[in-house]
Amino acid sequence: MNPQRYIYAYPHPAVTTDVVLFTIQMDTLSVLLIERRNPPFQGMWALPGGFLDISEDLEACAKRELQEETGIEGIYLEQLGTFGAPQRDPRERVISVTYFALSPSDHLCPSASSDAAEAAWYPITELPELAFDHAQIISLARQRLIAKLGYSTIAFQMLPETFTLSQLQSVYEVLLNEALDKRNFRKAILARNIIRETGETARHGNHRPAKTYQVLNPRQVEIIK
């Protein structure tokens, strides 16, 4: 097959998108990584992502690459920043527009693909050596995620549609890495008027069942105060 050639009067960088997808598994903040099937950094772990199609929107590209490489779709996505150090990719000049994404800890089925030998969750405390500048990108994403906890409803993106207050508190505790007082936490959350009781309860073991709640404006991150 004879590849088509694209000619420009000035050199153009390549543009990629990369996605930092977080979830919480077993009370641990985890990141989705793929094992690179091709050079460069073949066999190393990296963020899911890839080259922008020439008439594709940036966010659409991030979603598409995530879907292609891991099978995951329909989740919250937000632009994180753009990385373009001149030598970050050994092949050619590459500008990467990065996104961070959150997924509830259920229905997660990462799968391999043509570009990714394997896809897997890594606890953020036990990351392998990463390709490109992806360690730096993950570090920035984590900072941003934690910062947004304080002034947005982003935490709900890590829970299923209905959830208990204990589950919600656990999300905050894992991300902030500190224990929170149960009564104060519940008081503060309920004072914000952003969730309502479903009327149902959930039994998760041999103890009293918990009331379940849902977000008033689901799948939408709002800035609060």
Partner DNA sequence: CTGGATGGTGTACTTACTACACTAACCAGT
Partner DNA sequence: ACTGGTTAGTGTAGTAAGTACACCATCCAG
How many residues touch DNA under the rule CB under 7 A: the total is 21
Asked if 82 touches a second copy (CB under 8 A), the answer is: yes
Q: Which does 196 bind (CB under 5 to 8 A by kind): a second copy, DNA, none?
A: none
Residue 204, CA distances (Å) to 113, 146, 212 in order: 35, 28, 12
Asked if 39 touches DNA (CB under 7 A), the answer is: no
* Residue range at the interface with DNA (CB under 7 A); choices 53-61, 66-74, 133-141, 199-207: 199-207
Residues 41-70 close enough to bind a second copy by CB under 8 A: 51-52, 54-58
Question: What is the spatial distance between Cα 65 and Cα 18, in angstroms, rounded to a whole number?
Answer: 8
CB of 133 to DNA, least distance (A): 35
Asked if 10 touches a second copy (CB under 8 A), the answer is: yes
Question: What is the spatial distance between Cα 115 and Cα 43, in angstroms, rounded to a whole number?
Answer: 11
Question: What is the spatial distance between Cα 189 and Cα 21, in angstroms, rounded to a whole number?
Answer: 25
Question: What is the spatial distance between Cα 154 and Cα 110, in angstroms, rounded to a whole number?
Answer: 22
Joined together, the tokens standing for residue 36 give 């690179």
Taking Cα atoms as reference points, which of 69, 5, 72 lies closest to residue 38?
A: 69
Task: Catalogue the active-site residues.
Answer: 118
Site mask, DNA, residues 165-194, x = CB under 7 A? xx--------------xxxx-xxx--x---
Site mask, DNA, residues 131-170, x = CB under 7 A? ---------------------------------xxx----
Taking Cα atoms as reference points, which of 96, 16, 20 lies closest to residue 54?
A: 16
CB of 83 to a second copy, least distance (A): 8
Q: Which does 51 bind (CB under 5 to 8 A by kind): a second copy, DNA, none?
A: a second copy
How many residues touch a second copy under the rule CB under 8 A: the total is 29
* Backbone CA torsion sign across 60, 194, 106, 129: positive
Asked if 205 touches DNA (CB under 7 A), the answer is: yes
Joined together, the tokens standing for residue 177 give 């890495």
